[in-house]
Amino acid sequence: MNISRFGFLFILLLTACGALPATTQPTLTPTRFPTLPPPTETVTATPSPEPTLPPTAVPTAVSTATPTMVPAFFTLFGEAPIVAKGAAGAWDDRYTDPGAVVFHDGQFHMFRNGFQNWPASVQIGYVTSPDGFTWTEQGDDPVLYTDDIVYAGVAALASSALVEEDGTWVLYFYTWDGRTYPTSGGIGRATAPSPAGPWTPDAELVLRPGPASAWDGRHVLAPDVQKTDEGYRMYYSGYDETGIQQIGLATSADGLVWEKYPEPVLSPGEDGAWDANWVHQPRVVQTPDGWVMFYRGTKGAQNLAMGLGIATSEDGIHWEKSAQTPILTAKEVPRAKYFWFTNLLYHEGTLFLFWEVDINQTTEIYLSTHQGALEIP
């Protein structure tokens, strides 16, 4: 069958429409979007067909606990996107997400993904901000194209960025290789003398799926690379043929040659938990009190209760989930049905969460913030 914009939601919509039996269960990881018809001019709050979303009360991470309302952790910055999709006919006229964000030399830099459909080629644009709230497009054209990456297959999507001491800009991306579901792909890297480019992709992937029997034997994606005193750490999503998505860790001395930690560092919750089938898209920050990871989770293809969870760690390897999660759902944005890709930046006491929000089957980038100490609920 044709894949969805990241696979599993396509199967969901078929099920909701009666095209698949109610008992049909997808076998692989959730991704991002169903294959949808072009948006209409009429914006509706609940496009059809859609599965029923969960009740307003947010469940705790333990399935046996009584559902409770979690105090707001993030504050939504207005009700409009901070970065919009492009005009009709543009390379980003339907979808855009906050692929990679970095603060450097007094400015916020975002390498955002933009595309017109899925599965389809993805291009990477460049926007900047003096404060994280107001963003300006730097040129009309992308700074990196999927076609620039010979091993990318269908698409390459930006996911993490950093600046080396010698001024070299580094962008980590992941590939989406096929037009049928399931697909495969790996994690690549590109470098440039400036954020506007020219960007030069490495000759090959820097992180590949593991052996067929490994937990990440099918696909590795959505990397978040952190530079530490000891070298580099890459937190990434991965899944095997069973489709249970988990979060792994790889380390490197130079950002090029990576060694994987032998087991996932964060796994799905117990049966019935809000993150019982997938934990993915790790976004990690280092604080004086330790490591903090924000991740997206869901119960799986029969329940689209996507949420953002938190886990903490003293060493960045052994993680403990917060009991009071999810701390964010798409309900924070009026008329939103889902949220997809996220990125995170901690700067001068403010945590900036950039998230891709789906309204009327198109996406744009919204901002939520948390100010002050990271007191994890």
Instruction: Provide the pLDDT for residue 42.
Output: 34
Q: What is the pTM of this model?
A: 0.83
Q: Is the pLDDT of residue 242 over 90?
A: no
pLDDT band at residue 53 using 50, 70 and 90 as cut-offs: very low
Would the pLDDT of 48 be above 50?
A: no
> Does 375 have pLDDT greater than 90?
no
Please name which of 121, 126, 170 lies closest in space to residue 146, comparing C-alpha atoms.
Answer: 121
Q: Are 332 and 319 in contact (CB under 8 A)?
A: no
Average pLDDT on 45-55 reads 32
pLDDT tier at 57, thresholds 50, 70, 90: very low
3-state secondary structure of 377: coil
Residue 62 has pLDDT above 70, yes or no: no
Predicted local confidence at residue 201, as pLDDT: 98
Q: Which pLDDT belongs to residue 27?
A: 36
301 pLDDT tier (thresholds 50, 70, 90)? low
- pLDDT for res 69: 40
- Give the closest residue to 159 by CA, choosing from 98, 237, 107, 202: 98
Distance CA 311, CA 296 (A): 11
Contacts of 286 (CB under 8 A, 6+ apart): 226, 228, 292, 316
**Predicted pLDDT of residue 294:** 97
More confident position, 271 or 377: 271
User: Any idea what DSSP says for residue 67?
Assistant: P
Domains and CATH numbers, the chain: 5-371 (2.115.10.20)
The arithmetic mean of pLDDT across residues 232-237, rounded, is: 98
- Kindly report, residue by residue over 114-134, the tens digit of the pLDDT: 999 988 999 999 999 999 999
Q: What is the mean pLDDT of residues 240-255?
A: 94
Collapse the DSSP code of 16 into the 3-class scheme (helix H, G, I; strand E, B; otherwise coil) and give the result: helix
pLDDT confidence of residue 43: 34
- By C-alpha distance, which of 328, 374, 370, 330 is closest to 350? 370
Mean pLDDT value of segment 226-250: 94
Q: Identify whether the C-beta of residue 206 lies closer than 8 Å to the C-beta of residue 256.
A: yes
Mean pLDDT, residues 304-326:
91
How far apart are alpha carbons 293 and 304 in whole angstroms?
21
pLDDT at site 304: 66
Q: Which of 66-70, 177-181, 208-212, 239-243 tops mean pLDDT?
A: 208-212
Pairing of strands 362-371, 75-76: antiparallel
In this predicted structure, the answer to whether residue 76 has a pLDDT above a threshold of 60 is yes
Q: Give the pLDDT of residue 305.
A: 74
C-alpha dihedral sign at 124, 41, 358, 349 = positive
Per-residue pLDDT reduced to its tens digit, 143-191 = 999 999 999 999 999 999 999 999 999 999 999 998 876 789 999 999 9
Percent of the chain surpassing pLDDT 90: 71
Residue 55 has pLDDT above 60, yes or no: no
pLDDT at residue 249 is higher than 90: yes
Whole-angstrom distance, CA of residue 101 vs CA of residue 8: 27
Q: Can you give the pLDDT at residue 182? A: 72
